[in-house]
Amino acid sequence: MSGGIDAVIFDWGGTLTRWHDIDFHAESLALAQAAVGADAALRDGSFLASSGTEFSRRLHEANQTVWGRSRDHQQSASVADLFTEAGLEHDPELLTAYYEFWEPHTLTDPEVCPLFEALRARGIKVGVLSNTIWPREWHEGFFRRDGVLDLIDGDVYTSEVPWTKPSPHAFRAAMDAVGATDPSRCVYVGDRLFDDVWGAQNAGLRAIHVPHSVIPTEQVGHSEGTPDAVVHSLAEIPGLVDGWS
């Protein structure tokens, strides 16, 4: 049992998954296939050449706007909000191409399962807090696929709360989800010096930085935190926690 740390809460993309560079044009084309009216264009073969290009352009611009609001105002959004911002209607049942585009980039790092088991063996709660527009069921499905869902004590996805990191409210929601009450006894692990390190420390948590991600320039925030620790392997975290206890 840890004497000093009650919970370790993790970012998802670039932390529990390995960082992948993404073709955002291809992402927008995949997302555009869920726009109402796109299915007919697909059937006659004209989607990518006509409406697909226009829909994807609007969705790409909307995506930048939505993530800009997250960065500057900690305002959350969902996939539905993205289509609304683009001035498009969409059918959630048509998000298959978008899901399939992202699925190869969602694989849980092999070090996660033994890490979560080691923390729980110490009596430490395991949490997840992710800035995301995706629905909860997608994230839970990825964790279930990779055999770690049952090792998570509480998880918060910003698509279903009003705030995003680095808002202290987002970190408080994650603490509530795992049943932790004292931020000084909680640790946050993430790959971003603004959202994850500065945000966690501003909320009173300790912060561990995983410095493997190439953060897009437009997603870099106004401040950077100095992490309490830096790890190059998730397997280093239990030893750090032991030292803080």
Domain residue spans in the chain? 7-18+107-244, 24-104
The residue ranges of the chain whose pLDDT is under 50 are 1-2, 39-50
Q: How high is the pLDDT of residue 37?
A: 60
Find tokens 């190059």 and name the residue.
Answer: 232
Q: How high is the pLDDT of residue 3?
A: 57
End-to-end CA, the chain: 9
| Cβ neighbours, 10 Å, residue 62 | 21
Could you tell me which CATH number the domain at 7-18+107-244 has? 3.40.50.1000
What is the Cα 212 distance to its own chain's centre? 15
Q: How high is the pLDDT of residue 20?
A: 82
Quick: pLDDT tens for 108-141: 999 999 999 999 999 999 999 999 999 999 999 9
Q: How high is the pLDDT of residue 51?
A: 55
Give the relative orientation of helices 112-121 and 237-244 as an angle to the nearest 10 degrees: 20
Quick: pLDDT tens for 212-222: 877 777 777 78
Contact of 38 with 61, CB cutoff 8 Å = no
- 216-222 LR contacts (CB < 8 Å, sep 24+): 218/64, 218/67, 218/68, 218/71, 219/67, 219/71, 219/192, 220/194, 221/71, 221/166, 221/192, 221/194, 221/195, 222/72, 222/194
